[in-house]
Amino acid sequence: MKKGDLSTEHSRLLALLEEYKQESGQDVFLQGEDGRVIAATCEPAAFLLRAALAGRISSKELGRKAEELGETAMENRCLFLLKMEEQERSGVKDVISGLVEASGNGCAVEINPGLLAALLQMESQHPEEQKEMAESLLAMMEGEAGVTVRVAYGRCFTGWEQLPEAYREAEFALEAGRIFYRERQILAYSELLLAGFVMQLPSDLCQKYLRRLPQGFLGERLDEELAKTAAALLENRLNGAETARRLYIHRNTLTYRLDKIKKITGLDLRRFEDAAAYYLAMMIAGKENQR
């Protein structure tokens, strides 16, 4: 058979497979005698990703199915979850899927309206590379799709059977961001260990801890300006110069505000012990307020 005829027959085969998919609601893969996939209604990686995220397949079965579909070489990959603002969902799935797949670096699927997953290949497992990729996805979504998103991710992995765990880590990062870090757009699982500890604390223990705090400790008596100052100092690792720069205030103004916070709460946030106590209490209060 001539090359042109083969191309025509392949196109007809794809059309038949697509027709079957529309009728059955299932992706279809056609394998040759050597076991290789010769025609399919979607990329094997996208099929495996959807199956894993939907919980339709176990970790062990995922590895076996990947081998069956010729998707055994994972190298270093990272799963990114992209959570969009509710009012900005229309048409975003096609945009991000097209951009990711055009790069030849991975695949993207929709988990539910407003939540996408992108499985991307990484050159290494270095956290900085993951962060740079998350920043690129954020810029892509805001620039190409025109939407506001939060990007969450877990640790890199090298085998399909590790994908469900990577999904759980990214899901946790999104949830921790919703409760504790509402201003952050990039959420890395590896940076949220304290949040994980707080989220597992029993509610009765949290309430008991909060009742023991001095009056004004949780910021009921801190105005918005002082609360933002405290948050900025903690976010910048108690670096006064950087905090003042981020808040666009003079260093003396920062000192005045921190002195005022100390007078109200009894805590000097310039001391590590006091800053840690304040930070932990605010996280526990944030968790309890979500109940």
Domain boundary pick from 195, 220, 247:
195
pLDDT beneath 70: ranges in the chain? 1-43, 72-74, 86-95, 97-104, 215-221, 291
Model pLDDT, residue 91 = 62
How confident is the model over 46-79, as pLDDT tens digits? 777 877 888 877 888 888 777 777 776 667 889 9
- Domain check: are 155 and 245 in the same one? no
pLDDT score of 42? 52
How many domains would you assign to the chain?
Answer: 2
The pLDDT score that the predictor gives to residue 287 is 85
Range of the domain at 212: 201-289
For residue 243, the model assigns a pLDDT of: 93
In one letter, which amino acid is 21? K
Is residue 78 in a domain?
A: yes
| Pairwise CA distance, residues 179 & 287, whole Å | 6
What's the CATH code of the domain at 242? 1.10.10.2840
Residues 146 and 248 in one domain: no
Helix 163-180 with 59-68: angle, nearest 10 deg: 130
Query: Which pLDDT score, from 0 to 100, does residue 290 have?
Result: 74
Of 136, 171, 195, the position where a domain reaches its end is 195
Q: Measure Cα distances from 205 to 50, 199, 214 in Å.
A: 39, 12, 17
Question: Per the structure block, which two tokens stand in for 58?
Answer: 């176990």
Query: Does 22 map to a domain?
Result: no
Is the distance from CB of 106 to CB of 120 less than 8 angstroms? yes
Structure tokens, 273: 């012990």
Per DSSP, the three-state class of 284 is helix
Percent of the chain with pLDDT over 90: 27
Q: Are residues 111 and 130 in the same domain?
A: yes
